[in-house]
Amino acid sequence: MTARLNLIVLGKQGAGKGTQSTALSEKYAIPHVSTGDMLRNAVKAGSELGKQVASILQAGDLVSDDIVNQLVSERFKEPDAQRGVLLDGFPRTIGQAEALEAMLGEEGIKLCINLDVPIELVTQRLSSRRVCQECGTTYKDTDVEAISGTCSNCGGDVIQRADDHPEAIRTRLMNYERDTEPLLSFYGNRGLLVIVDGDQSPGAVTDEIIKVVHERGLA
């Protein structure tokens, strides 16, 4: 890899961004930077910022650009991010996208991948999702771990997150349509947008993304 590989994965909540980001992070040896994980870690730490974030997430609303931009900017300074980053959940707004351009400068975004999944499917995925509070492993509500409430990976408690309840899901999807969908035009106008069908097996989605990355000579 001759240049810093900065990739963005966009898509509605439940589109599979986390799964694809993990696979691509491993493929290209760049860190998976999830603003959702960073925010949840702040909540878990119980800091004043964490308490503020908790109330926002529980309502299904979005955290302010200033808070998220600060978290991401600090993350970019860490040693493992010098080869590039895989951004999951950021940017969410045009303001965040403009801030990201300012952060990265000449080492800007190389590709923005949008996982296109029907709203009915992402709603189903989110409402059936259960997550380990300790390690973040994700399960379906029909999995043994979800039924027992115990993670087979670390023994932590498996729960349904507050922002995966029906009312919060509706709010999150409305916020996505209002705030994040404009990014498709933002990156499309820059020639950086690629739309991938997210209603395939995870492996097929990953293969399609890797093909695009290689066709563009990015890796």
d(CA 132, CA 129): 10
Domain parsing of the chain, residue ranges: 5-117+165-215
The answer, yes or no, to whether residue 108 has pLDDT greater than 80, is yes
Cα angle value 8/78/67 (rounded, 5°): 65
**Predicted pLDDT of residue 152:** 96
156/52: higher pLDDT: 156
Q: How confident is the model over 175-198, as pLDDT tens digits?
A: 888 988 999 999 999 999 999 999
Contact 13, 176 (CB under 8 A): yes
CA–CA distance, 67 with 65 (Å, rounded to integer): 6
Q: How far is CA 213 from CA 2, 15, 19, 43, in A?
A: 14, 20, 17, 35
With bands split at pLDDT 50, 70 and 90, how would you rate the model's confidence at 1?
A: very low
What type of residue sits at position 86? L
Average pLDDT over residues 24-29: 96
How many residues in total does the chain contain? 219
Average pLDDT, stretch 131-160? Answer: 95
Percent of the chain with pLDDT over 90: 60
Supply 88's token pair. 């999951």
CATH H-level, domain 5-117+165-215: superfamily:
P-loop containing nucleotide triphosphate hydrolases (3.40.50.300)
Quick one: average pLDDT of 60-67?
Answer: 82
Catalytic site positions? 17, 92, 129, 161, 172
Question: How far is Cα of residue 212 from the mean position of the Cα atoms in its chain?
Answer: 19
Q: What are 11's strand-pairing partners?
A: 115
Report the C-alpha gap between 45 and 20 in whole angstroms. Answer: 27
Distance between CA atoms of residues 124 and 88, nearest Å? 21
Evaluate whether 27 touches 86 at the Cβ level (below 8 Å).
no
C-beta atoms surrounding 124 within 10 Å? 13
